[in-house]
Structure 1
Amino acid sequence: MECVSCATITDKYKCSKCLAPYCSVNCYKEHKTQPQCTEIAAVKQAPQPAKNVTEEEPTIYAPFSTEDTVPLDKLQQLKNSEPLRQLLHNPHLRALLQQIDVAYNANLAMTAAMQEPLFVEFANACLQVVEPMTDAERAELALCS
């Protein structure tokens, strides 16, 4: 993506108001004074009609189901998980998650993150909510430990 101010290729930062990409503080300061940024921000803040859940998907492509797709009700349960809340207080974990979110190669970013014990703990906490272990799996894990 090109910086909205200087046209340098970047994926470092995005404007919090209009999501336009920028590469530095100077470019951001210049951009935020532009009328396009404030106009887009005003449109985003205007009340909008209620949307169904699939329209709120934050991706640019329509959601699709695969065998690995997590049901919406399970995803909703993640926000109520106290172990996840505690882990997300850690700024290092939040930084890792942000890096994965903006990574050009998500698979490579995930592979790197899985080398971090904190991220593995986070992934396991997510799995406990989304796909809890059965008693048989717990017994097998106990035998391996």
Structure 2
Amino acid sequence: MLCIVCRNETNKYKCPKCFEYYCSVGCYKSHTESNNCKVKESKSTEENVDNPRIILPFTTEDTVDIALLKKLEKSDELRKLLENPHLRNYLLEVDRAPSAWKAMKVAMQEPLFIEFADACLKVVEPENK
């Protein structure tokens, strides 16, 4: 990914308003002070929850229905796991990784991440307990 301001290679940070990448505090300040920072609303997720017949733009055989994903919010087991700062930091690293496949391959070797993934699967695929 390229920094929205200086165009250097980065995947460190994403603007919380427009989700564009930036590489430093200086670039972030410059970006947010410019007129280029437009809020991107992710209304598609909310619309899909209210109307599950909406088709997602990219789906695979592994795509989980949005109604099931909403159940993750109510999981006490997940909430407890996410109290762990190590897990939260690890999830951020995976999210920011330039190669999702490589990051997931490494993550699936981490016992805490496996515990998190299993807790997610218990919610979205309860018949496979």
Same fold (TM over 0.5): yes
Q: Does 1:131 align with 2:125?
A: yes
Q: Does 1:91 align with 2:71?
A: no
**Aligned match of 2:32:** 32
2:48, 2:66 within 8 Å by CA — same for their partners in 1?
no
Over alpha carbons, which structure has the higher Rg?
Answer: 1
Note the alpha carbon deviations across 1:42-80, whole angstroms, 9 max, x for none.
xx58xx8xx6318xxxxxx813241x2323332222111
One-letter amino acid matched to 1:63: F
For structure 2, the residue ranges without an aligned partner over 5 or more in a row are 50-55
For 1:73 and 1:32, the matched residues in 2 are separated by 34
- Number of matched pairs: 120
Q: For 2:107, which of 103, 113, 119 is the aligned residue?
A: 113
Structure 1 consecutive aligned stretches of length 4 or more whose deviation exceeds 4 Å: none
**Aligned match of 1:104:** 98
One-letter amino acid matched to 2:90: L
CA RMSD in angstroms, aligned pairs only: 2.5
Q: Aligned residues: percent identity? A: 48
Higher relative contact order (CA 8 A, sep 6+): 2
For 1:3 and 1:75, the matched residues in 2 are separated by 31
TM-score with structure 2 length normalisation? 0.76
For structure 1, the residue ranges without an aligned partner over 5 or more in a row are 55-60, 138-145
